[in-house]
Amino acid sequence: MPRRCDVAIVGGGPAGLATAIATARLGLATVLFEPREPPLDKACGEGLMPSALAALARLGVDLDGVGRPFPGIRYVAGGGVAEADFPAGARGRGVRRTALAARLLAAAGDAGVELRRARVAALTPTGVAHDGGKLDARFVVGADGLRSRVRRWADLARPASGAARFGVVRHLRRAPWSERVEVVFGDGAEAYVTPLGGEEIGVALLWSGAARGFDELLATRLPAALGERLSGSETLGRDRGAGPFRQRARRAAAGRVALVGDAAGYVDALTGEGLAIAFEEALALAPALAAGDLAAYARASARLRRVPETVTRLALLLTRHPPLRRRAIAALAADPALFSRLLGVLGTGRTVREVGGAALVRFVARLARPAAPLAWAERGAR
């Protein structure tokens, strides 16, 4: 086994595998450490935004034949419903993490990545120490997820403030009732329902406060109509949890260490942006490593995160302020064309400018109006 490589990647989740594919394709000798055996599963809403699919295509990874495409997003709150599709016929895709990991692993193998089934235990002055020995590497990439140890070892962690939020995911055998990803707001909790196939959905429950299980959250914090829809469906596999979500890094690189994906920081799962950010960062990181310019990567990461993280913070406001949420849902329902353009910013990488100033002013004016009685929506739409 070689004791030296160009890039040692810590973590074989989507961010680590995508980075490995990109660096190996650029001719960098790449070793990836992941202690878990496939199939690699994880708590995730499993909705890949169109921008995530576009980045995967640039990495040469296609997801044809797995999962289920979705055309847009549907928000449900307090009896109100707003739904729209991504602009220009763009599609996202609901894909089980195990299937996504299998495609990424195959592509990494094809690209010549060396996979080592081992846990990295520390950074050393010349590389990494792992549970099978040591490896020297010109660069180390921390792709070890939300609670990244590489982030701490490299002194890149920054304290996060705000209420801790968590997630738990269950898969159910039942036909999706909406072709879109549905986000249902409840009492300090949200459900994120992703169509994964003709007879499979994933339900991610996100919440703040004390840790609770899936069934208790569903029964006590979410609309009864959702529980009724899910009841009687066969549960597939076991529930998986994650959190606390909010994690911050001072920056995405220092010295010869770079962070990618959740290791480089995370705001919340509410807007389903994590995978797109991970893949886009991988595409930005590989050429920076090849050029030996990690400062360029740190700038690119900050730029890539600016819009999605701002949108996620705004969406989080809606979880904390039910009256504002009602107004926002009503405003989006009243203007599906605007909603579609906003989804373009969130999911397809369009710029805020493309939403149009006049439309944004109209939206903000609607938000400022007192919430109308929800007669338009009180048709049991939850």
Ligand X SMILES: Cc1cc2nc3c(=O)[nH]c(=O)nc-3n(C[C@H](O)[C@H](O)[C@H](O)COP(=O)(O)OP(=O)(O)OC[C@H]3O[C@@H](n4cnc5c(N)ncnc54)[C@H](O)[C@@H]3O)c2cc1C
Q: Which spans of this chain sit near ligand X (rule: CB under 6 A)?
A: 10-16, 33-36, 40, 42-48, 52, 119-120, 143-146, 149, 167, 169, 204, 242, 261-263, 269, 272-276, 278
Q: How far is the CB of 244 from ligand X (least distance, A)?
A: 10
Nearer to ligand X, 119 or 362 (CB): 119
Element (H, E) at 185: strand 181-185
Nearer to ligand X, 42 or 221 (CB): 42
Q: How far is the CB of 272 from ligand X (least distance, A)?
A: 4
Instruction: Write out the two tokens for 2.
Output: 């070689």
In sequence order, the 6+-apart residues with CB closer than 8 A to the CB of 69 are 91, 92, 93, 94
Q: What are phi and psi of 68, to 5 degrees?
A: -145, 130
Q: How far is the CB of 94 from ligand X (least distance, A)?
A: 8
Sheet strand arrangement including 68-70? 47-48, 92-94, 68-70
Q: How far is the CB of 353 from ligand X (least distance, A)?
A: 24
The Cα 282–Cα 263 span in angstroms is 12
Nearer to ligand X, 79 or 145 (CB): 145
Distance of CA 274 to the CA centre of its chain: 2
Nearer to ligand X, 176 or 261 (CB): 261
Q: How far is the CB of 277 from ligand X (least distance, A)?
A: 7
In sequence order, the 6+-apart residues with CB closer than 8 A to the CB of 142 are 10, 11, 148, 149, 150, 151, 154, 257, 258, 259, 260, 263, 264
Nearer to ligand X, 79 or 308 (CB): 308
Q: How far is the CB of 157 from ligand X (least distance, A)?
A: 14
Residue 240 CB neighbours (<10 A): 17
Is residue 44 within 8 A of residue 14, CB to CB? The reply is no
Of 106, 128, 127, 125, whose CA–CA distance to 115 is shortest? Answer: 106
Nearer to ligand X, 281 or 335 (CB): 281
Q: How far is the CB of 138 from ligand X (least distance, A)?
A: 19
